[in-house]
């Protein structure tokens, strides 16, 4: 199929163009659209056939549930069978925005949308184009990230164009997204609310509003495989984001890390492989052996690293890099989300150097 591409200015939304997109959603089609986190691939959340076509377009396993995007809190109550008392405080504090909640569902949302689960993930995005699409279509919109399954999530329309283009009806180009990492997922069906995927709404921010919050033990461990703990969110179990080349995260003092990376870049290049380093602006001067040296952001500015990460991983493939060495971005707050995605991309290949 020929994918129609529309360009919409988020500051000055063209209502006639948005009506075209809304019409595609209403008749069961697929529209890729920008949100503040990443681009989503949307369809009517209440239409089982539309949900099935999302899985087909992404090549996504059908047991990996979709997030339902809404524009008013009332819509969550329309599709939930049980909403715990703490929920309203979360909605007030973080919606619209990069937080997804998991609640028990009722019959309005088909099992096709939730990958067969009796719970549903719900998010109210803040991006004006996303909000307008939900409102104009009159539908709740089921949308996973708009990448082909396994690839990094798209932070620009061109990334969507590279991936499921030709398998979707329409792509709305709304420019680059603001945040660049997918939403925080918090499961409200647990006795103590549990974070299933870290994001910009951090554990500390959630605890300030509702008290104690746990992090899914299946995702916190760097060595999930060895501990045998499966993450609760099905999508967190799959290999994800991985570039075609090998990616290692190197941890230790600045000088030990740089020495290790420089030495390994020399060895890899001698063997004819193309190399890249992902580092901070403060440590940039420590590197000069790799084919590409990419500054992810300043130390402590994890938001900058977050907004660049997925695009850089795609660039590694485009530039045919065989070996990527990344500094570690470990820390509290948004760094948790950055390290979670980086560790997944690296297949948990973390190397500690020095004494």
Residues that bind Mg ion (CB under 5 A): 145
The one of ligand TXA, Mg ion, none whose footprint includes residue 183, by CB under 5 to 8 A per kind, is: ligand TXA
Least separation in angstroms between CB 22 and ligand TXA: 17
User: Which residue number, 67 or 321, has a Cβ lying nearer to ligand TXA?
Assistant: 67
Could you tell me the two tokens for 29? 């089609």
The one of ligand TXA, Mg ion, none whose footprint includes residue 3, by CB under 5 to 8 A per kind, is: none
For the chain, the straight-line distance linking the first and the last C-alpha, in angstroms and rounded, comes to: 57
Least separation in angstroms between CB 279 and ligand TXA: 27
- Note the residues at the interface with ligand TXA (CB under 6 A): 35, 37-38, 40, 64-67, 100, 102, 114, 117, 119-121, 123, 143-145, 182-183, 185, 196, 232-236
User: Which residue number, 163 or 327, has a Cβ lying nearer to Mg ion?
Assistant: 163
User: Which residue number, 37 or 328, has a Cβ lying nearer to ligand TXA?
Assistant: 37
Least separation in angstroms between CB 271 and ligand TXA: 36
d(CA 44, CA 27): 8
The one of ligand TXA, Mg ion, none whose footprint includes residue 304, by CB under 5 to 8 A per kind, is: none
User: Which residue number, 214 or 274, has a Cβ lying nearer to ligand TXA?
Assistant: 214
User: Which residue number, 95 or 241, has a Cβ lying nearer to Mg ion?
Assistant: 241
Least separation in angstroms between CB 1 and ligand TXA: 21
User: Which residue number, 100 or 145, has a Cβ lying nearer to Mg ion?
Assistant: 145
Q: Is the CB of residue 104 less than 8 Å from the CB of residue 80?
A: yes
The one of Mg ion, ligand TXA, none whose footprint includes residue 196, by CB under 5 to 8 A per kind, is: ligand TXA
């Amino acid at each position: 199929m020929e994918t129609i591409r529309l360009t919409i200015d988020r500051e000055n939304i063209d209502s006639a163009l948005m009506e075209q997109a809304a019409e595609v959603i209403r008749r069961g089609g697929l529209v890729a659209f920008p949100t503040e986190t990443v681009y989503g691939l949307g369809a009517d959340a209440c239409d089982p056939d539309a949900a099935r076509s999302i899985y087909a377009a992404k090549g996504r396993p059908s047991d990996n549930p979709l997030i339902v995007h809404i524009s008013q809190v009332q819509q969550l109550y329309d599709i939930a069978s049980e909403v715990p008392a703490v929920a309203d405080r979360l909605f007030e504090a973080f919606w619209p925005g990069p937080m997804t909640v998991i609640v028990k569902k009722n019959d309005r949302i088909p099992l096709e949308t939730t990958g067969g689960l009796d719970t549903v993930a719900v998010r109210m995005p803040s991006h004006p184009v996303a909000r307008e699409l939900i409102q104009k279509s009159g539908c709740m919109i089921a949308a996973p990230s708009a990448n082909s399954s396994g690839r990094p999530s798209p932070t620009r329309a061109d990334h969507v164009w590279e991936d499921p283009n030709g398998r979707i009806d329409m792509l709305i180009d709304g420019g680059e997204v603001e945040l660049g990492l997918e939403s925080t997922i918090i499961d409200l069906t647990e006795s103590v609310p549990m974070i299933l995927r870290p994001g910009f709404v951090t554990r500390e921010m959630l605890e300030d509003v509702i008290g104690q919050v746990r992090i899914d033990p299946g995702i916190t461990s760097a060595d999930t495989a060895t501990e045998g703990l499966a993450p609760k969110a099905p999508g967190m179990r799959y290999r994800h984001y991985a570039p075609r080349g090998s990616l290692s995260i190197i941890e230790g003092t600045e000088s030990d890390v740089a020495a290790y990376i420089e030495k390994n870049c020399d060895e890899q290049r001698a063997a004819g492989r193309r190399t890249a380093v992902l580092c901070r602006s403060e440590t940039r001067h420590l590197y000069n052996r790799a084919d590409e040296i990419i500054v992810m952001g300043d130390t402590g500015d994890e938001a900058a690293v977050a907004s660049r990460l997925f695009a850089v991983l795609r660039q590694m493939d485009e530039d045919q890099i065989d070996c990527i060495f990344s500094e570690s971005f470990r820390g509290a707050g948004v760094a948790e989300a950055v390290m979670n995605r980086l560790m997944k991309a690296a297949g948990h290949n973390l190397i500690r150097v020095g004494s």
